[in-house]
Chains A and B, each alone.
Chain A
Amino acid sequence: MNSAKRFDMFRMVFSVLIALLISFVIIFFVSDEPVTAIVTLITGPFKSKRSMGNVIESMVPLIFTGTGVCIMFSANQINLATEGGFHLGGLVAAAVALKLGLPAGLSPIVAISLAAVAGAVFCAIPALMKIKTNSPELVSSLMINYISLWLCTFLLMHFLQDPSVGSASYKLPPESELPTLIKGTNIHLGLLIALVVAVFGYVFLYKTRTGYELRLTGENENFARYSGINIVKVILISQMVGGVIAGIGGSVELLSPIYSRFSWVSLLGYGWDAIIICTLAKKNPLYTPLAALFLAYLRTGASIMARYTDVTLEIVQITQGIIILLVVAEQFLSGMKHRMIAREARASLKDEGVA
């Protein structure tokens, strides 16, 4: 690892620490029992098997959407439709589980596959709009999420709704549920699928021809074009692959033991979280599980803290916000980085002088 990469790593850890520190200070201001709150936040997730399980299971959707966003952002396609793709994936999975009546084993496979297709088609819409009409994918994908939300809500209410419970579908049949891996927790098969997808994302981006095209385009579109790379293809493929992963993520989450019905009538926010994951993972899908673990730990801790003390859950939003600001702020610690580089340069000057 060269010194620049080492520095980036240091900066990341430092940002996280500063963010936590600021959050702690805020807790001291707002809480009557700040020490208890902070201790609960940090140690809460380790207190029981169930809460440790909570950390792991809430990693799963984060890994999916994080990987999807890593792929799109690597190609510099700032598509935020992961949110809607995830939502749609959940609805498609629920529809397959409820309507097709497939046997165990086959049911989740079909559900996940169709959700993947739905995600791809959905995330391709901003891409096609960019190609055909030159509309920025950032804006179109942001707005299209609401279409996904209300379309899914409409379909839920008209085709899947269980009148006895209100705004939720009928109970999903046991054939469609993903098996639990560890007894006493909700840790399910989806975790393994998520890890496979993260590895797939890494291989796709760093080992395949298409991934290379994506990254070249993402780093310098002029250079990619000059090199003969088909930019239109990159725009479309990157966003479709991102959509596939978002769709799978939504379906896996819905078919997990956590949910017994499709009851998503507002956006869940995993698409937004994905941007945090992608930033922490430096756009490399291989690091998304680590980033997801961190975020899941922080959130589980915060929800335990909110349950037992007077500090609200939203405090972690502040922490997250500060982390993102510091990580993406290129000038943060740049003076220190410059001194480090200057020191190395001087050292190598001396070496040359001796030689």
Chain B
Amino acid sequence: MVLQMNHIMKIYSNGVVANEDVSIELKKGEIHALLGENGAGKSTLMKVLFGIESPDEGQIVLNGQETAIKSPQDAINKGIGMVHQHFMLVPSLTVAENIILGVEPKKYGFFIHMEKAISEAEEIAKKYNFDIDVRAKVEEIPVGIKQKVEILKALYRGADILILDEPTAVLTPQETDELFVQLEKLRDSGHTIIFISHKLDEIKKICNRATIMRSGKSMGTYEVKDISTEEMSRLMVGRDVILTFDKKPSNPKEVLMRVRNLSVRNNQGVQKIEDLSFDLRGGEILGIAGVEGNGQSELIDSITGLNKSYKGSIYIKDTDIEKSSIKEIRDLKLGHIPEDRMTSGCAGNLNILENLFSNQYTNQEYSGKMLLKTKRIQERSEELIVEYLVKCKSFRQNVGMLSGGNIQKVIVAREFSTEPDIIIANQPTRGVDVGAAEFIRRRLLEFRDKGCAIILVSADLNEVFSLSDRLAVMYKGKFSGMFTDVSAVTEEELGQYMLGLKHQEVQEGVIYE
């Protein structure tokens, strides 16, 4: 037994109990899956192990000795390495520089010994069979390689236990396969790997044992070969998951949005969207899949008015929005669920009520010329809290004190309560518990059935597959594929489009004249 975590309890300062009496044991040389839905407490447990969070209760036993892990540095010293979901790399530095960062070999005790750094980085890459050019700049290498750099970084610091937090989330199916080969090699050389995921097939493929978590509790540890995927998913969500919604066939109506020859460059002058055109009709969900960073954010920002420096044109209901303010665009009955709820979706220090009306307080129903109609706003808040199943004490509770899923419900309630004709949903269920995610998805379908036009950008392929009526894949600022019959595409095929291995020359169903 390399590591035991016993009876861990972790309560966050907003009162959320993220871990409640969780225990996990790791054997040397195994790949151990930590399985659970978003918000089940996997990441929290690992943050406790890596010294980012300190537990309220429980003990950690490392190599037979009870130990306290005070900081990530402490964890690294004890042979624990972590690869975060979001890479912690310096883009402008080379691979080698990133690997040695913080533990640089020194020349004369002060200067960085760059030649030694490069040779050490090359040595460790070779030792573990990682095919990487250590002289390449991190900003120029693909995501799959960046992940390898992260793993090497941990190995260079002497990690015996390696935590991988949803390593495949940003990878294409092909890159995932490659990663797995590497992980198996690492395991065979005696490393212990904790593999955090909620993708059952991946766990089946690569893991020896799995600990399943559900809403902050451990549901037990199982030998992967002895447990079926159905059983795992039942333990994970507490009931059989319905991956396909019984949705009615779509009944698309008139075109509500036209995007023509859209091109966007970012602040650094990098072309993020190139000559993109498409139509969006009422009563349909247009899913947009793709590896993050292929222009999805720029597209959404341009449509919603957050980005004003684009070329080409965007029409919403025949209004050219080039000169329209965000308010004017919203007044065209557009609702927007933003990608990152804490950065732009809410104000954590304001209460639920104050977060529910930011897009509609000027409506005559809620305010006069000067004063807010406080009583009416309070009534409506109470209605919305009930209607959108927001779990809270009252509308006076600060939004920052709610769980991720409930914050998202507040945002969805706000954006949907204006009865929008167009909804831009960017990662609407990211980091949200199963119940809330399903609720949000059903709402999206309801709006579609009412004739609303919806753009759904999601990294969750399952979600895109089950909700979309049309599915576009974005690669390097363009649609590499457009599928009008979603059921005819496989995940494998989609991955090839996401990677840019495949590209449709002629795309059907992009524009309706």
- Contacts A341-B13, A345-B16; A228 near B359 (Cβ below 8 A): yes
Task: Bits for A205-235, please: 1 = Cβ < 8 Å to B, else 0.
Answer: 0011110100110011011111111100000
How far does the Cβ of A211 sit from chain B's closest Cβ, in whole Å?
8
Q: Which of B11, B354, B367, B396 contacts A209 (CB 8 A)?
A: B367
Task: Bits for B362-401, please: 1 = Cβ < 8 Å to A, else 0.
Answer: 1000010011101000000000000000000100111001
- Contacts A342-B11, A345-B17; A223 near B371 (Cβ below 8 A): no
Q: Which residues on the B side are within 8 Å of A215 (C-beta)?
A: 350, 354
Instruction: Report the bound CA distance from A300 to B398 in whole Å.
Output: 38
Q: Does B330 contact A (CB under 8 A)?
A: yes
B368's nearest neighbour on chain A, judged by CB, is A209
- Contacts A208-B372, A219-B350; A226 near B345 (Cβ below 8 A): yes
Q: Does A2 contact B (CB under 8 A)?
A: yes
Contact call A228/B327, Cβ cutoff below 8 A: yes
Contact call B13/A216, Cβ cutoff below 8 A: no
Contact call A212/B372, Cβ cutoff below 8 A: yes
Residues 163-221 of A contacting B (Cβ, < 8 Å):
207-210, 212, 215-216, 219-220
- Contacts A212-B361, A216-B358; A223 near B372 (Cβ below 8 A): no
Q: Does B281 contact A (CB under 8 A)?
A: no
19 A–B pairs (Cβ distance < 8 Å), ordered by A: A2-B393, A2-B396, A209-B361, A209-B367, A216-B347, A216-B358, A219-B347, A219-B348, A222-B344, A223-B346, A224-B347, A226-B344, A226-B345, A228-B329, A230-B325, A334-B13, A338-B13, A341-B13, A342-B56
The 6 closest A-B pairs by CB, nearest first: A228-B327, A227-B358, A219-B347, A220-B347, A222-B344, A342-B11
A1's nearest neighbour on chain B, judged by CB, is B396
Q: Which residues on the A side are within 8 Å of B11 (C-beta)?
A: 338, 341-342, 345-346
Q: Which residues on the A side are within 8 Å of B330 (C-beta)?
A: 227-228
Task: Bits for A312-355, please: 1 = Cβ < 8 Å to B, else 0.
Answer: 00000000000000000000001001100110111001000000
Instruction: Report the bound CA distance from A189 to B362 in whole Å.
Output: 37
Contact call B326/A226, Cβ cutoff below 8 A: yes
Contact call A212/B345, Cβ cutoff below 8 A: no
How far does the Cβ of A190 sit from chain B's closest Cβ, in whole Å?
27
Q: Does A4 contact B (CB under 8 A)?
A: yes
Q: Which residues on the B side are within 8 Å of A349 (C-beta)?
A: 17, 20
How far does the Cβ of A75 sit from chain B's closest Cβ, in whole Å?
12
Contact call B358/A209, Cβ cutoff below 8 A: no
Q: Which residues on the A side are within 8 Å of B14 (C-beta)?
A: 341
How far does the Cβ of B292 sit from chain A's closest Cβ, in whole Å?
19
Q: Which residues on the A side are within 8 Å of B347 (C-beta)?
A: 216, 219-220, 223-224
A231's nearest neighbour on chain B, judged by CB, is B326
Q: Does B142 contact A (CB under 8 A)?
A: no
Q: Which residues on the A side are within 8 Å of B349 (C-beta)?
A: 219
Q: Does B448 contact A (CB under 8 A)?
A: no
Q: Which residues on the A side are within 8 Å of B13 (C-beta)?
A: 334, 337-338, 341
Instruction: Report the bound CA distance from A226 to B349 in whole Å.
Output: 17
B306's nearest neighbour on chain A, judged by CB, is A226
B358's nearest neighbour on chain A, judged by CB, is A227
Contact call B401/A216, Cβ cutoff below 8 A: no
Instruction: Report the bound CA distance from A344 to B454 in whole Å.
Output: 41
Instruction: Report the bound CA distance from A227 to B357 in whole Å.
Output: 9
Q: Which residues on the B side are within 8 Å of A334 (C-beta)?
A: 13
B346's nearest neighbour on chain A, judged by CB, is A223
Instruction: Report the bound CA distance from A132 to B457 in whole Å.
Output: 36
How far does the Cβ of A207 sit from chain B's closest Cβ, in whole Å?
6
Instruction: Report the bound CA distance from A227 to B398 in whole Å.
Output: 18
Instruction: Report the bound CA distance from A344 to B304 in whole Å.
Output: 41
Residues 6-58 of B contacting A (Cβ, < 8 Å):
11, 13-17, 20, 56
Q: Which of A225, A227, A337, A341 has the most CB of B within 10 A?
A: A227
Q: Which residues on the B side are within 8 Å of A227 (C-beta)?
A: 326, 330, 358-359
- Contacts A219-B347, A342-B11; A228 near B325 (Cβ below 8 A): yes
Contact call A207/B354, Cβ cutoff below 8 A: no
Instruction: Report the bound CA distance from A4 to B348 in whole Å.
Output: 14
- Contacts A209-B371, A228-B330; A2 near B15 (Cβ below 8 A): no
Q: Which of B358, B370, B371, B372 contacts A224 (CB 8 A)?
A: B358
How far does the Cβ of A83 sit from chain B's closest Cβ, in whole Å?
27
Q: Does B283 contact A (CB under 8 A)?
A: no
Task: Bits for B307-342, please: 1 = Cβ < 8 Å to A, else 0.
Answer: 000000000000000000111011000001010000
Q: Which residues on the B side are within 8 Å of A230 (C-beta)?
A: 325, 327
Not counting A216-B358, A223-B346, A226-B306, a sample of 15 additional A-B residue pairs whose C-beta atoms are within 8 angstroms of each other reads A2-B396, A208-B371, A212-B361, A216-B350, A223-B343, A223-B345, A225-B306, A228-B326, A228-B359, A229-B327, A229-B358, A230-B327, A337-B13, A342-B56, A345-B16
A209's nearest neighbour on chain B, judged by CB, is B367
Q: Which residues on the A side are within 8 Å of B354 (C-beta)?
A: 212, 215-216
Q: Which of B17, B343, B359, B367 contacts A222 (CB 8 A)?
A: B343
Instruction: Report the bound CA distance from A4 to B394 in whole Å.
Output: 14
Q: Which residues on the B side are within 8 Å of A346 (C-beta)?
A: 11, 17
Instruction: Report the bound CA distance from A153 to B16 in whole Å.
Output: 58
Instruction: Report the bound CA distance from A325 to B347 in whole Å.
Output: 25
A339's nearest neighbour on chain B, judged by CB, is B56
A213's nearest neighbour on chain B, judged by CB, is B361
Q: Which residues on the A side are within 8 Å of B357 (C-beta)?
A: 212
Contact call B370/A223, Cβ cutoff below 8 A: no
B350's nearest neighbour on chain A, judged by CB, is A219
- Contacts A209-B361, A215-B354, A341-B14; A220 near B346 (Cβ below 8 A): yes
B10's nearest neighbour on chain A, judged by CB, is A342
Q: Which residues on the A side are within 8 Å of B56 (C-beta)?
A: 342
Instruction: Report the bound CA distance from A208 to B56 in whole Å.
Output: 43
Residues 20-72 of A contacting B (Cβ, < 8 Å):
none
Contact call A208/B348, Cβ cutoff below 8 A: no
How far does the Cβ of B351 sit from chain A's closest Cβ, in whole Å?
10
Task: Bits for B190-223, please: 1 = Cβ < 8 Å to A, else 0.
Answer: 0000000000000000000000000000000000
Q: Which of B329, B367, B372, B374 has the most CB of A within 10 A?
A: B372
Q: Which residues on the A side are within 8 Å of B358 (C-beta)?
A: 216, 223-224, 227-229
Q: Which of B11, B338, B374, B393 has the most CB of A within 10 A?
A: B11
How far does the Cβ of A232 sit from chain B's closest Cβ, in whole Å?
11
Q: Which residues on the A side are within 8 Å of B325 (C-beta)?
A: 228, 230
A228's nearest neighbour on chain B, judged by CB, is B327
How far does the Cβ of A329 sit from chain B's closest Cβ, in whole Å?
15
Instruction: Report the bound CA distance from A341 to B10 in whole Å.
Output: 12
Q: Which residues on the A side are within 8 Å of B327 (C-beta)?
A: 228-230
Q: Which residues on the A side are within 8 Å of B396 (C-beta)?
A: 2
Instruction: Report the bound CA distance from A199 to B195 in whole Å.
Output: 57
How far does the Cβ of A281 sit from chain B's closest Cβ, in whole Å?
16
How far does the Cβ of B186 sit from chain A's closest Cβ, in whole Å?
37
Instruction: Report the bound CA distance from A209 to B372 in whole Å.
Output: 6
Q: Which residues on the B side are within 8 Å of A4 (C-beta)?
A: 398, 401
How far does the Cβ of A204 sit from chain B's closest Cβ, in whole Å?
9
Q: Which residues on the B side are within 8 Å of A342 (C-beta)?
A: 11, 56
Instruction: Report the bound CA distance from A152 to B34 in whole Å.
Output: 69
